[in-house]
Structure 1
Amino acid sequence: MTGTEGASRSGEAPGARRRTPGSGARRRGTPRSGGTAWPALVLAAVGALLAAIGVWHAWGGTADTDQDAANGSCAPTALLEPPCGAWWGAYIPYARDGSLKDAVYAFEKKIGRRLDLVHNYHDMSRTERDGVLLTPDERELGRDRLLMLAWESTVWTEPHHENWTETQLGWRAVADGTFDEEIIDPQARRLKAYGERVFLSFDQEADFRTPDAGTPEEFVAAYRHLHDRFERLGVDNVVWVWTVSGYLGNAGLMKSLYPGDDYVDWIGMDQYNYFRCHDSENWLDFERSQRPSYEWLRANVSATKPVMLAEFSTAPDPDRPGRQRDWYREMPAVVPTLPGVRALVHWNRPVPGEGCDLTVDRGPALEGYREAGRAPYFRQRLPAR
């Protein structure tokens, strides 16, 4: 969620998600069986293997075809792009006990599968709770999941941005190197020491952070400075994600915020069906909520960079509850027709306001999301750790 009036709907006015009043916000193979000399032992081994594959599949793995296993055609690229489908991810707020790990595990149990990607937000406060990239919980989750870290050039007032209030540090100061020694360099070194590839997004939804954070030119300078600083420190395991809201009312602004192909690995967009949460009678199904912004980014920013739906969700329709279920059920058919989309990250947090429960924690929304998450297209092999 972004800096002022959070992300948006395609062609409609943007609305709040994370901050006041809106938002704040870069592995395994399949075992084989064989042998015929001892039928009983073989049958037992095969049975155990099938059971293991079934459990593994239920938590997000996919059994490769013989051809894929032989030639690695579905193996992710060095920039974590899965060529045969898309990552299935989510942003999950911390549990009441302050644990991100427990919150993710509980969510995965609810949806019946392991997430491929866990998205979490950080500020630049240097506090252990929010200002340190790669917390112990993130490291634990990163053992068998990809991590997406959204790093904001702000200092949040409350832990985990609870009430969406913050202090913006300013893009000019970031670009000038003001925070290099105390903030940027220590976090860069932490990421380098971690070693595994991670996605990193700087000031997600930058188009809704202007003018408070600075001008588009200052954002580009700050983004490039951060990228170049990491490069000078030898941090080569970061996959850089440039994320905008996708709100087409900001088309010209989004274009002016692009740092350039040499600085961006993935393009992210945050589009929702807010419906009555934003006082609209215009229900946007999954395709109508995503395709216009996706096609605009392909035509105006990059036709080749992989795209991440870095936040997406739908509000409920109180008069037709089944609409939420159908919204998610549509995804396995629609996403392959958006061929650049290689990762989907569900925003699983309610936002203030009547009709603004964007979660899939229960009811028709959970039913539809669980069903969509079983689609083979969203069951890709994670890179080797």
Structure 2
Amino acid sequence: MTGSRHRPRRAAALRRRTLLAAGAGLALLLGLLLYLPPPAQGHRAPAAARCAAGPSLAPPCGAWWGAYVPTGPDGLVASVTALEQRIGRRLDLVYTYHDMGSGTDGQLLDPAEQRLGTDHLLMLSWESDVWSDTAPGGSTPLGWARIAAGDYDASVIDPQAERVKAYGRTVLIAFDQEMDSRTPVDGTPAQFVAAYRHVVDRFRQLGVTNVRWVWTVTGYLPHTQLFSEMYPGDSYVDWIAFDQYNYYGCKGNPDWLSFAQTELPSYTWIRTHISATKPLMLAEFSTAVDHAHPDAQQQWYQQVPQVLERQLPGVRAVVQWDSSVPGPDCDLSLDTGPALSGFTGAGHSPYLNQPLPGGS
């Protein structure tokens, strides 16, 4: 079922990242010194027409408010609805994950997603793996070289492209998100670029015009050389995304980082070295718990709207990771405590309430 999948390969990547995160706090804080935020500007709610999203799906005012929501026993739609009832508003964007297998996990835009797509934006993470509980590490990579060579066009790429085309509404697709954590197992940076371009080219050749392509990295600053080597070019990318968390206490990470400290260094590097104009997305974000200061989670989320508006103006979508990652003290979900209260309050900011595009 969409959303219920544990995405074994994704979990492995998160395990690697939480180990790396213990040493990342200093790099993040140093990155802040490279950035001077612009002067604070008062928010003026513009007319709805002026803030309507254009072809890229990026809102010219504010940002979309979204989440990855794990599927419960009653299905993905019920799980998303339950979260929306708890936060007192509809999510703008729902994020789901797929492999490239022949089973239901490999079916882009399954019935639950299509139902949600009637009044939500959809973003699909499409990973070049076949997930299996019996495979080493939980999945088998197809390999970027073989994807670039067209070996999976007939069996995987083309059928899913036709499904997306038939769906009609515009969707966001991230091919192999966090690819910087997937090399060298899946291939070289050059092979990733070739695979990414091949997938996009196949969709275009088949006349699929209702996809906006998202290039997603971890945001982990020691990987910046990989970021540069793995960027497929502006003509192949509609959005740039990164996934940064406040991993305080998770796997022994000693540094509590505010929302600004968590996101600004990666934002600044991407804006300086990859693109100064592409819309940006926090494709996964969240904070761990400070058991000594339980209200810190609430305060962390309360900072989000103001930081987005004043210091991260290029970020046009923010997507909560409403789950956990492997390891003690690594629960990053909203649950029902201070995190949920803070997320709820932030989601009612005018900056995070923009008109959804018609026909999305």
**Structure 1-normalised TM-score?**
0.82
Instruction: Give the superposition deviation at 1:239.
Output: 0.3
User: For the Cα contact (< 8 Å) 2:218–2:243, is it kept in 1?
Assistant: yes
CA 1:304–1:339 in structure 2 vs 1: closer, same or farther (change >3 Å)? Answer: same
Give the Cα separation in 1 of the matches to 2:22 and 2:141.
24
The residue aligned with 1:149 is 124
User: For the Cα contact (< 8 Å) 1:8–1:272, is it kept in 2?
Assistant: no
Instruction: Give the superposition deviation at 1:102.
Output: 1.1
Give the Cα separation in 1 of the matches to 2:248 and 2:281.
22
Give the Cα separation in 2 of the matches to 1:181 and 1:351.
35
- Map 1:63-74 → 2, pairs under 5 A: 68-69=47-48, 72-74=49-51
Q: Say what the alpha-carbon RMSD is for the aligned residues.
A: 2.1
The one-character-per-residue Cα deviations of 1:275-304 (angstroms, maximum 9, x if unpaired) are 111212110110000000000000011010
Q: Does 1:194 align with 2:167?
A: yes
Q: Could you tell me which of 299, 316, 319 is aligned with 1:326?
A: 299
Instruction: Give the superposition deviation at 1:5.
Output: 3.4
Give the Cα separation in 1 of the matches to 2:250 and 2:70.
20
Q: Which runs of 5+ in 1 are unaligned?
A: 16-63
The residue aligned with 2:322 is 348
Q: Could you tell me which of 369, 374, 378 is aligned with 2:343?
A: 369
User: For the Cα contact (< 8 Å) 1:8–1:14, is it kept in 2?
Assistant: no
User: For the Cα contact (< 8 Å) 1:274–1:314, is it kept in 2?
Assistant: yes
SS in 1 for 2:245: strand
User: For the Cα contact (< 8 Å) 1:87–1:116, is it kept in 2?
Assistant: yes
The residue aligned with 1:222 is 195
Q: Could you tell me which of 101, 121, 130 is aligned with 1:125?
A: 101
User: For the Cα contact (< 8 Å) 1:12–1:249, is it kept in 2?
Assistant: no
User: For the Cα contact (< 8 Å) 1:108–1:115, is it kept in 2?
Assistant: yes
The residue aligned with 2:243 is 270
The residue aligned with 1:91 is 68
CA 1:249–1:188 in structure 2 vs 1: closer, same or farther (change >3 Å)? Answer: same
The one-character-per-residue Cα deviations of 1:50-88 (angstroms, maximum 9, x if unpaired) are xxxxxxxxxxxxxx97x725xx21110101010011000
User: For the Cα contact (< 8 Å) 1:267–1:307, is it kept in 2?
Assistant: yes
- Map 1:44-193 → 2, pairs under 5 A: 68-69=47-48, 72-97=49-74, 99-128=75-104, 130-158=105-133, 165-193=138-166
The residue aligned with 2:13 is 5
The residue aligned with 2:205 is 232
Q: Could you tell me which of 277, 291, 306 is aligned with 2:279?
A: 306
SS in 2 for 1:76: coil
**Structure 2-normalised TM-score?**
0.87
Please say which structure displays the higher CA radius of gyration.
1
The residue aligned with 2:333 is 359
The residue aligned with 2:30 is none
The one-character-per-residue Cα deviations of 1:333-361 (angstroms, maximum 9, x if unpaired) are 10112110000000001122211110012
The residue aligned with 2:267 is 294
Q: Aligned pair count? A: 329
User: For the Cα contact (< 8 Å) 2:21–2:247, is it kept in 1?
Assistant: no
Instruction: Give the superposition deviation at 1:12.
Output: 4.3
Q: Which runs of 5+ in 2 are unaligned?
A: 1-8, 25-43
User: For the Cα contact (< 8 Å) 1:156–1:164, is it kept in 2?
Assistant: no
Instruction: Give the superposition deviation at 1:126.
Output: 1.8
Give the Cα separation in 2 of the matches to 1:101 and 1:231.
30
SS in 1 for 2:13: coil
User: For the Cα contact (< 8 Å) 1:3–1:205, is it kept in 2?
Assistant: no
Instruction: Give the superposition deviation at 1:362.
Output: 1.1
Amino acid of the residue matched to residue 364 of structure 1?
P
The residue aligned with 2:234 is 261
User: For the Cα contact (< 8 Å) 2:58–2:316, is it kept in 1?
Assistant: yes
User: For the Cα contact (< 8 Å) 2:99–2:129, is it kept in 1?
Assistant: yes
Give the Cα separation in 2 of the matches to 1:201 and 1:113.
26
CA 1:306–1:345 in structure 2 vs 1: closer, same or farther (change >3 Å)? Answer: same
The one-character-per-residue Cα deviations of 1:82-103 (angstroms, maximum 9, x if unpaired) are 0011000000111124x11111
User: For the Cα contact (< 8 Å) 1:4–1:209, is it kept in 2?
Assistant: no
User: For the Cα contact (< 8 Å) 1:156–1:165, is it kept in 2?
Assistant: yes
Q: Could you tell me which of 285, 294, 312 is aligned with 1:338?
A: 312
SS in 1 for 2:330: coil
Instruction: Give the superposition deviation at 1:158.
Output: 4.3
The residue aligned with 1:24 is none
State, as a whole percentage, how many aligned pairs show the same letter.
53
User: For the Cα contact (< 8 Å) 1:156–1:167, is it kept in 2?
Assistant: yes
